[in-house]
Structure 1
Amino acid sequence: MGFRFLTLIRPFMGIIPEVAAPDRKVAFNQKVLWTVITLLVFLVLSQVPLYGIMSSDSSDPLYWMRVILASNRGTLMEFGITPIITSGMIMQLLAGAQIISVDYSLREDRALFSGAQKLFAMLITFGSATVAVMTGQYGDPTSLGAGICLLLIIQLFVAGVIVILLDEMLQKGYGLGSGINLFIATNICEDIVWKSLSPLTVNNGKGPEFEGAIIAFFHLLFVRSNKFMAVYEALTRSTLPNLTNLVATVLVFAVVIYLQGFRVEIPIKSARFRGHRASYPIKLFYTSNMPRHYAHETVAT
């Protein structure tokens, strides 16, 4: 039954979009270039709003998860990397539980399994887009009309396919690192930079203040006569990003980078060559952010 499942994927392989593997080793400078291009495309998709929406101010059930899902509400990156993670996790669990059989030593099985993951991710993207539009996440479907609803679904689906192909391009060696991790890191860095240097002003009753924590710090020092209170306000303001948030974020980054260097050396010996000993290093953060993704998918399901 397992092999039959992969056989069922074969007719779709001709229509599933695919990034061709490089026919020669990709130079490092080219990898850097392709990585930068990929991240620029992702950033553009994260900022382009969906055309045709009436409102995206309804409650957001994924608000606290959008950081690790690399998604942005009301934009082409509404679903972020969710379809990729969901399809990959489900397919890996099915293969690991031997519900579907995959022989990774066979090139055809590897290709079919990869194609199944992409097809499943595309179906999840289309299904999620349809549900989001028809449940009124962007406005009442009857008020939007059939044409706008269809246009919204197409926008979300095409953007999802682009992200899938960008991730595949990096995985096949055109870029540096994993697409999923790069998208998450880019989304987080964009948020940090914006909340630190945003030039937008907000009036919260005490006069206009800059949204960016660093810009607000210098602005408060300039406009407040009491410099001590200006520094205190820049460190502790609760309605907008403050310097304490920024310092805490930098400290967390430093601790994580430091702990990334920790590893456990597991001694191993060869059964074929007697007396041959070696060690297998396992990083302290071996599982990375996957437990959070698994927890999210379990709760969401």
Structure 2
Amino acid sequence: MSGFRLLDVVKILVPLLPEIELPDKLMSVDEKVVYTVSSGLVFVMSHLPIYGLVKDAPLKMVDPLFAWRPLFAMEQGTLMELGLLPMLTAAFLWQVAAALKLVKANFMFSHDRELFQSAQKVTSFVLAAVFGASLIALGYFDAVIRGRSGASAWGWYTLIFLQIFGWNVMLTFMVEILDKGYGFGSGLLSYVAFNAATRLVRDVAGVELVSATPGGTPETYGVVTFLVRALLSMDFAEIKKAVTGIFFRSGFPTIGMVLIVLASGLVTIVLQNFRLELPVRSNKARGTANVYPIKMMYTGALPVLFAFTVVANVQIALHFVSIALAPMNPVLAAFVETHGESGAAIGGVSFYLSPPSSWTASLLSPIRAVTYVASIVLLSVWFASLWCEVSGSAPKDIAKQFKDQEIIISGKRDASVSRELAKIIPRSSVTGAALLTAVALVGELVGASGKSVSVVVGVSSAFAILEEFMMDLQQNGGSSQLMNSLGVNK
């Protein structure tokens, strides 16, 4: 008699859920490029203002989520208010539950895989609804609702909720399109990479005029474009202001921040090239020797993304609890979180899980910095050690592939291949996760405000997408019209 499975509950909802069908044919390289680029453009252009809010609403709102916005593509006062956070949280929740055997699922069967994906989808919808409803119920939008008064506010609340929730549903299906094989790489990681790239370009060369305060003078957003515009004006006062501004502009990217982010990205690129090459030979073709590379970034950026996702969810939950408790028990609410006028945590438990706003803040509150760093590093290392055992690339899985292909490690017996891989792969996973986390945290501790970790995860994700693209190009790129027009196949 088979026991009850949590996945079986999802069966009830599966007929009600829209689903992206798997491709009915092998997708060509050109088609995958079109789908990937098109979905990326839709994602980038989805930062539309929420209808029903006053003009320049983000300038008039508190922002408790400021530090998490760059990583999760969250844009205040827009349809991307929640960004990718609900989907990432749902994905990690179910993946970890499956890895810890809390959920019974046999991924060898397509039926279980479909139920598992549906469970992630439903959880994502529920989280988006909970986050959106919590923001509205706790007064996040109250100060910026257009013409808010008495009973009319409920109509606006409903409209705002439907916009936020509806777009998250659409975004979930966009992610599913890429996940089902229509594009390259994981949908979520692709969007993380798109987000990191566009934010960096905007910080450097953004040409739009933006005000940092309500009623303030609009200034060019990008660091380089701000300086170039001043130089072209030939006004000494403007040039002097720009030279000073690129270092100390409040509410805008600075040259220091851009350099920190670029340095984080460059270090990540360097780390991607570290690998251990195991000498292997085939029993089928005697005398044929080769190498099997094991990357130091064996689990990629997933451990870093997991750690920041967990901490972000905990801090957001503490913020919601603090606001909800404030009218009933101010003392307990202050213990959970004390926040300033901007909405950022300045005390309570939540404060010690929030990233410092600058290097001086790290020095002035060393306990906070240590607690924050320790939480991120421990979560990242734990996930890396777990993921390398359950992701299908565990030592036993690689050893099985070697056995099926009659490959052995030079100088080792067949029976010792699994033990040899078990020594290398877990260490590589944990070391890579720890180093990548350290790179991200260095930027965060000196005030990168989420942009450092965004670029670290984005660059790692871009490498994963590029690897899949190159493999697909080698196998199926001969008939690609796009590659032929670029002269790649000549």
Q: What TM-score bracket applies, with the shorter chain setting the length?
A: 0.7 to 0.9
The aligned counterpart of 1:283 is 295
**How many angstroms apart in 2 are the aligned matches of 1:137 and 1:269?**
62
| Aligned counterparts of 2:149 and 2:279: Cα–Cα separation in 1 | 65
Contact 1:35 1:176 in 2 (8 A): yes
Are 2:161 and 1:153 aligned? yes
Measure, in 1, the Cα distance between the counterparts of 2:243 and 2:259.
14
- Which residue number corresponds to residue 8 of structure 1? 9
1:128 shift after superposition: 1.3
Determine the structure 2 residue equivalent to 1:50. 50
Call closer, same or farther: CA 1:142–1:33 in 2, change over 3 Å: same
1:261 corresponding residue in structure 2: 273
Cα distance in 1 between the residues matched to 2:8 and 2:276: 41
Q: 1:89 to 1:229 in 2, by over 3 A?
A: same
Task: State TM-score, norm by structure 1.
Answer: 0.84
Equivalent pairs, count: 298
Contact 2:227 2:239 (C-alpha < 8 Å) held by counterparts: no
The residue type equivalent to 1:259 in the other structure is L
Q: Report the Cα distance in structure 2 between the residues aligned to 1:9 and 1:142, rounded to whole angstroms.
A: 41
Post-superposition shift, 1:39? 1.3
Return the alpha-carbon distance in structure 2 between the equivalents of residues 158 and 243 of structure 1: 37
Q: Is the 8 A contact 2:90 2:120 kept in 1?
A: yes
Partner of 2:134: 131
* Counterpart in the other structure of 2:229: 219
Task: State, as a whole percentage, how many aligned pairs show the same letter.
Answer: 28
Match of 2:192 among 180, 184, 188: 184
Alignment-derived partner of residue 395 in structure 2: none
The 3-state SS of whatever aligns with 1:145 is helix
Q: Secondary structure at the match of 2:277?
A: strand
Q: Which amino acid aligns with 1:172?
A: K
Moved more, 224-233 or 285-294: 224-233
Which has the larger displacement, 242-251 or 7-16?
Answer: 242-251
Aligned residue in 2 for 1:197: 206
1:70–1:187 contact (8 Å) kept in structure 2: yes
Cα pair 1:198 1:210 within 8 Å, conserved: yes
What letter is aligned with 1:260? Q
Residue deviations 1:34-62 (CA, integer Å, cap 9, x gap) = 1122112212222x111123655433222
TM-fit CA distance, 1:30: 1.3
Q: CA deviation at 1:236?
A: 2.6
Q: Provide the residue aligned with 1:112 in structure 2.
A: 115
Which residues in structure 2 correspond to 1:11-22 (within 5 Å)? 11-22=12-23
Residue correspondence of structure 1 range 24-63 to structure 2 within 5 A: 24-46=25-47, 48-53=48-53, 55-56=57-58, 57-63=60-66
* Change in CA separation of 1:104 and 1:79 when aligned onto 2, cut-off 3 Å: same
Q: How many Å separate the matches in 2 of 1:295 and 1:111?
A: 26
Distance change in 2, residues 1:34/1:269 (3 Å)? same
Unaligned runs of 5+ in 1: none
Q: CA shift at 1:77, angstroms?
A: 0.9
Q: Distance in 1 between matches of 2:139 and 2:259?
A: 39
Give the whole-Å Cα distance in 2 for the aligned partners of 1:123 and 1:13.
15
Cα gap change, 1:234 to 1:25, in 2 (>3 Å): same
Contact conserved, 1:234 with 1:243, CA < 8 A, in 2?
Answer: no
Q: Quick one: distance in 2 between partners of 1:201 and 1:79? A: 22
Q: Report the Cα offset of residue 145 of structure 1.
A: 2.2
